[in-house]
Structure 1
Amino acid sequence: MTETSPLPPLRGIVGEATKGRIGVLVEEHFDMTEYRLFNDLFPRHGYQVVYLSHLWGNANLTFGSNPDNGWVEEHVLVETEINSVKADEFKGIIIIGAYASDRLRYQVTPRKGEPNQAPAVVFLRQAMAAPKVKLGTICHSLWLLCADRALLQNRRVTCAHNIICDVENAGAEVIYGPEGTVDLVVDGNLITGKHPGITEQFISRFLSEIEKAD
């Protein structure tokens, strides 16, 4: 495919929060399918999408999607520092898929015996402890929860086939069907999806779980 001039980055707040806000954790190399559907379907149902990341002391950072067609088609300008918000300010928190989730778990100075202190991991500990806040992952994004075994121990989940070993080693129970891992699993406040191909199904169930909690 021939590369065309990139569009300006989308500002990282999409839609009006008539029903509440959905926080999406993002970094470089995010999944483009999920990104486009989040920006379309959540605002259509009355939820504002707010992209969150660790900004490393910057006022904002721009992140690009995976180069699925040989070049980076989508960019998002993130202005919300994850350290500046609390999980319970959102109706739901989603970790976007692809390698963004691996980058989000990076910590500058790991110490023996100390849980991962990456800002995104610290934030997710808050989210997992807030029963009314729904947490969602699709495909590779469960990687981020693997950064701290306490986040996944004994949770029932699904994920991309590539990361099954990582997820099971982190203490989760991966649910299988006739064709490998199942499409969707709900375990309390955690909703997990298999891969970007089921993103619309995932969003529908995520919204259903949010509205049940209300």
Structure 2
Amino acid sequence: MTADAGTGIFGEPVRGRIGVLIEEHFDQTEFLKFNDFFPAHGYQVVYLSHLWGNPSLHFRANPDDGRIGAEVTVTTEVETADIRDYRGILLIGAYATDRLRYQANPRKGQPNMAPAVRFLRRAVATPGLKTGTICHSLWLFCADRSLLAGRRVTCAHNIICDVENAGGEVVYDGDQTAELVIDGDLISGKHPGMVDSFMRTYIAELEKVHA
């Protein structure tokens, strides 16, 4: 799988580009679903990551039952990506966003300056730009409390404490976290088991902006 998926007949996206932040150990169910669903609805999927000075990097999915079923070569550097090129931004699940928040030289008292975190700050500050998170991917928001404080979200059960410690308000449905939560321009999904409804909702929210 190459870095981009889903272009129109002349090589351009029909409805625009959706940028997906990715790193090693991404969720392969979400990855495969994204690559089918969004191009089928006229959106080009562009994978972004911090490339550490390389022209490209190759990432593998988190294994399911010991098997790695998806790989991706990324050529788009998140540090220099122009947020105006994208109709929406998605954060893929599993451990990819934990890796994306890594900063080589943290400084005491300074907010996280990892390239993907700085990109996310630009994304959430852009009116009408829809950001979607699923499963563990709220970890990238947790890198900077100002990104998550007061936001209503859902997530995988094993990162509830991380999200709450970063100021997020986790929404429940009985004794489970809610499957899907919309809070303004932020759409969050619980886990890969509901990725289909997450993608449908995300597209519907995108279309509201340009209706």
Fold shared by both chains (TM-score > 0.5) = yes
Please list the CA deviations of residues 6-54 of structure 1 after superposition, one character each: whole Å capped at 9, or x if unmatched: xxxx111001110000000000000011001000000000000000000
Match for residue 105 of structure 2 among 92, 102, 109: 109
- Output the CA distance in 1 between the equivalents of 2:38 and 2:151: 26
State whether residues 105 and 121 of structure 1, in contact with CA within 8 Å, keep that contact through their aligned partners in structure 2.
Answer: yes
Amino acid at match of 2:171: I
Match of 2:115 among 119, 122, 137: 119
Counterpart in 1 of 2:58? 62
Match of residue 89 from structure 2 = 93
* Count of residue pairs brought into register by the alignment: 205
Task: Give the AA of the match of 1:53.
Answer: S
Q: Name the structure 2 match of 1:29.
A: 25
> Equivalents in 1 of 2:198, 2:83: separation in Å?
20
1: CA distance, partners of 2:204 / 2:167 = 27
TM-score normalised per structure 2: 0.96
Identity fraction in percent: 60
Which deviates further from its counterpart, 186-195 or 173-182? 173-182
Describe the SS at the equivalent of 2:79. Answer: helix
Correspondence list, 1:196-211, <5 A: 196-211=192-207
Q: Distance in 2 between matches of 1:188 and 1:131?
A: 10
Q: Which runs of 5+ in 2 are unaligned?
A: 8-12
Alignment of structure 1 residues 164-179 onto 2, 5 Å: 164-179=160-175
Moved more, 122-131 or 78-87: 78-87
CA apart distance, 1:180: 1.1
- CA separation in 2, counterparts of 1:97 and 1:170? 18
Write out per-residue CA displacement over residues 160-192 of structure 1, whole angstroms, 9 at most, x where no aligned residue: 000000000000110001241000000011000
Q: Which residue does the alignment assign to 1:182? A: 178
State the TM-score, normalized to the length of structure 1.
0.94
Unaligned runs of 5+ in 1: 1-9
SS of the residue aligned with 1:106? coil
SS of 1:18 mapped into structure 2: coil
| Alpha-carbon distance between aligned partners in 2 of 1:163 and 1:194, rounded to the nearest angstrom | 11
State the 1:152 CA deviation.
0.1
The match for 1:3 is none
Question: After alignment, is 133-142 or 71-80 more displaced?
Answer: 71-80
Mapped partners of 1:20, 1:52: distance in 2: 15
- 1:15 to 2:15 alignment: no
**1:74 corresponds to 2:66:** no
Q: Secondary structure at the match of 2:132?
A: strand
The answer to whether structure 1 residue 157 and structure 2 residue 148 are counterparts is no
Matched position secondary structure for 2:159? helix
RMSD of equivalent CA atoms: 0.7
SS at match of 1:159: coil
Instruction: Determine helix, strand or coil for the equivalent of 1:83.
Output: coil
Aligned twin of 1:83:
79
Shift of 1:89: 1.5
| Counterpart Cα distance in 2 of 1:149 and 1:80 | 26
SS of the residue aligned with 2:59? strand
Instruction: Return the alpha-carbon distance in structure 2 between the equivalents of residues 88 and 150 of structure 1.
Output: 22
Kept in 2, the 8 Å contact 1:64–1:76? The answer is yes
